[in-house]
Amino acid sequence: MRHSRIGSWLAIAIGTIYFLVPLLCTFEFSLRMRRGEYSFDAYRIVLSDPQFQATFLYSTALALATILVGVLLVVPTAYWIQLRLRRLRPVVEFITLLPLVIPAIVLVFGYLRIYNSSSLLPFTASEAATNLLLTFGYVTLALPYMYRAVDTGLRSIDVRTLTEAAESLGAHWPTILLKVILPNVRVAVLSGAFLTFAIVIGEFTMASLLDRPAFGPYLQLMGANRAYEPSALAIIAFLVTWASMGLMQLLGRRPGDGR
Amino acid sequence: MAFLDIESLRKSFGSHVAVEHFELAVARGEFVSFLGPSGCGKTTTLRMIAGFELPSAGRIRIDGREVTHLRPNQRKVGMVFQSYALFPNMTVAENVAFGLKVAKRPAAEIGPRVTEMLKLIKLPELGGRYPYQLSGGQQQRVALARALAIKPEVLLLDEPLSALDAKIRVSLREEIRSVQRDLGITTIYVTHDQEEALSMSDRIVVMNEGRVEQIGTPVEIYNRPRTRFVASFVGTLNILSGRVVDAATGRLAVDGQEILSGGAIPGAQRGDTRAVALRPEAVSLSTSPGHNRLSGTVEEVNFLGAIVRIRVRLKESAVSFDTFNNPNVPPPGRGTTVAIGFTREDVLVLEGGGSA
């Protein structure tokens, strides 16, 4: 009993040191821009850099678009598989896992070959179309996470009976999906959404090779040319992630829990 | 013409036939139970009426309107599920209002209707609660209110009390029946619990292996089971093997002792064997002139307090029955020879063969 307790505390301590020390060091280093004293200069410079603002905004917009397309694609698919096409589940799971096996660079080269400006679907011919292509690429990259999250959520509720109850009350498919199924897998969809957000915000390969002004390539540029600012950016990225997780907790609460 | 009319219904899944030759005519306002063991096809039949399964053959009509191929949301049928199936993201009031909102009823109608329904199920204060804040019994009452709010033509209940504990089950079944009577709504109730079916229904459809075994009032089903399956599934029964002595007078021999049944045995010849059923409550240790009489040896005596359960061995067959404990008359000891008596009418000759 005593031994196992010491063991668990030791495990927690090692884990904490492993995660916190690099973070604290990065934070400490990001404050050392001014010689001999701590300051937030690096943060000031980064935050006031118009390129930071533009790329961060670009990636955020793309992340939101990716989440929207991803949810519209994944929720009905996972729902339909859970409800009627259970035999297809292994096939769909395999397909959704492919982006984990195929490197992003292979994907983007494939895109460039298929959708170049002289192809039948010239996605790379204009900036707007390239943005669209990048969004679709991100949807693919985020598919394993989004599908898994939504599928787990759907498995935790009795999809079939809830659907039948709604149907017997006169509801049609759009109402059932929007009013009954989606609200009950909200937490799962939100976790999928935040994971997607995290992937898109830091993604480098696709954005760089499609030559889009995203946050990933900007991070790389800063990292290659500056000393203190990349550390400040890393801390900012962590803060954004934590804020996302906090929001996920807040929005994922069950209705009526607060009373 | 019947209000709910089911004609030659059949459903197969691949080579497995789940339901066949199902015929039923339900009058308006009638409460009909489908009773049978699991896998007998009762839920499949209910799901075909609801529209969740398409029949392989046959027709379903509600109030003269053919609904066989209509989608569930076009049938005006209210459904209550075993697992309640309340929408977890909605309050009780929102759950009850769901069907009305889907039908785009005006808000001025929805509010009062929800209040009326919550009063009907005796939960007027709980409109603002979420399903997870309610007990199982309360959730099932809300599910009932939700199904009734849309004023369905037929109410379908699929083992609605199976997930509840015994005490709640009894009180809720009385409540369901009284609500059904008040509203006069035509109701189909699926259950595997014979007590539920007997106590609630106007008529019972006893099903086994996808077929209807017998349709009748609870009294008919209990007192006059037509088949061996019905006899053994509804209540506890002694089933004995009888040899027909005289089919016209209903005379049979059980282990060499002759008894008389209630009347002629249709379709039987002298020497045929028939299963003979005797309800334990029809048998007593006293015999009266004109009554049937069988003698045997007491094989088992179980003293259960107010009741004494006795098993008498004839030869091949044995008869179990209960008597009230009488402090002045001690029960017979094991091994004593006794005579048991029962009336002609208590002898139920069942259809089909007769090895006991």
| A133 and A9 both lie in a single domain | no
| A76 and A17 both lie in a single domain | no
Residue A240 scores a pLDDT above 70: yes
Nearest to B85 by CA among B144, B152, B154: B144
- For residues A27 and A21, what is the distance between their CA atoms, to the nearest angstrom? 10
Question: Residue B354: exposed, middle, or buried by beta-carbon count in 10 A (0-12, 13-18, 19+)?
Answer: buried
Residues of A in contact with B129 (CB under 8 A): 256
Say which of B51, B75, B85 has its CB closest to residue A165.
B85
Domains in chain A, number: 2
Question: Residue B91: exposed, middle, or buried by beta-carbon count in 10 A (0-12, 13-18, 19+)?
Answer: buried
| A34 and A147 both lie in a single domain | no
CATH number of residue A123's parent domain: 1.10.3720.10
Domain with A76, as residue range(s), is 50-251
For an interface test with B, the pick among A154, A157, A167, A169 (most B C-beta atoms closer than 10 Å) comes out as: A169
What's the one-letter identity of residue A49? D
pLDDT of residue A255: 61
In a domain, A259, yes or no: no
What tokens does B144 get?
């009932």
Residue B162 scores a pLDDT above 50: yes
Chain A: nearest CA to B231, how far in angstroms? Answer: 34
| A31 and A70 both lie in a single domain | no
| A12 and A90 both lie in a single domain | no
pLDDT of residue A257: 57
Task: Identify the residue whose tokens are 């059932």.
Answer: A176
- The answer to whether the CB atoms of A162 and B71 lie below 8 A apart is no
pLDDT of residue B354: 46
In a domain, A165, yes or no: yes
| A14 and A105 both lie in a single domain | no
pLDDT of residue A259: 42
Residues of B in contact with A254 (CB under 8 A): 130, 132
User: pTM of the full predicted structure?
Assistant: 0.77
Would an 8 Å CB–CB cutoff place B240 in contact with chain A? no
In a domain, A44, yes or no: no
| A125 and A156 both lie in a single domain | yes
Mean pLDDT of B146-163: 90
Q: SS3 sequence, A187-242?
A: HHHHHHHHHHHHHHHHCCHHHHHCCCCCHHHHHHHHHHHCCCHHHHHHHHHHHHHH
Complex-level ipTM beyond the 0.90 threshold: no
Residue B34 scores a pLDDT above 80: yes
CA dihedral B335, B341, B342, B343 (to 10 degrees): 160
**Could you tell me which chain B residue has the CA closest to the CA of A172?**
B73
- For residues A173 and B81, what is the distance between their CA atoms, to the nearest angstrom? 20
Chain B: nearest CA to A83, how far in angstroms? Answer: 12
**Could you tell me which chain B residue has the CA closest to the CA of A158?**
B85
Contact A74, A142 (CB under 8 A): no
| A83 and A27 both lie in a single domain | no
| A71 and A137 both lie in a single domain | yes
Polymer length in residues for chain A: 259
Chain A: nearest CA to B1, how far in angstroms? Answer: 25
pLDDT of residue B98: 94
Residue B353 scores a pLDDT above 60: no
In a domain, A258, yes or no: no
Residues of A in contact with B99 (CB under 8 A): 169-171
In a domain, A256, yes or no: no
Q: Sorting pLDDT into bands at 50, 70 and 90, what band is B123?
A: confident
Contact B249, B264 (CB under 8 A): yes
- For residues B69 and B57, what is the distance between their CA atoms, to the nearest angstrom? 11
In a domain, A219, yes or no: yes
In a domain, A164, yes or no: yes
Would an 8 Å CB–CB cutoff place B133 in contact with chain A? yes
Say which of B75, B79, B133 has its CB closest to residue A165.
B79
- The answer to whether the CB atoms of B73 and A167 lie below 8 A apart is yes
| A219 and A246 both lie in a single domain | yes
Residues of B in contact with A256 (CB under 8 A): 91, 129-130, 133
| A245 and A133 both lie in a single domain | yes
**Could you tell me which chain B residue has the CA closest to the CA of A185?**
B89
Residues of A in contact with B134 (CB under 8 A): none
- For residues B112 and B92, what is the distance between their CA atoms, to the nearest angstrom? 14
**Could you tell me which chain B residue has the CA closest to the CA of A187?**
B89
In a domain, A159, yes or no: yes
Would an 8 Å CB–CB cutoff place B77 in contact with chain A? yes
| A65 and A167 both lie in a single domain | yes
pLDDT digits 0-9 by tens, B223-268: 888 888 888 888 778 888 889 998 888 899 998 898 988 888 888 8
Check residue B335 and give left, alpha or beta (phi > 0: left; psi -120 to 50: alpha): left
pLDDT digits 0-9 by tens, B279-333: 888 888 887 787 888 999 999 998 888 888 899 998 888 899 888 888 888 888 8
Size of interface A-B (CB pairs under 8 A): 75
Chain B: nearest CA to A251, how far in angstroms? Answer: 13
Share of chain A above pLDDT 70, in %: 96
Say which of B72, B87, B133 has its CB closest to residue A168.
B72
Say which of A162, A175, A256 has its CB closest to residue B130.
A256
Under DSSP, the state recorded for B159 is S
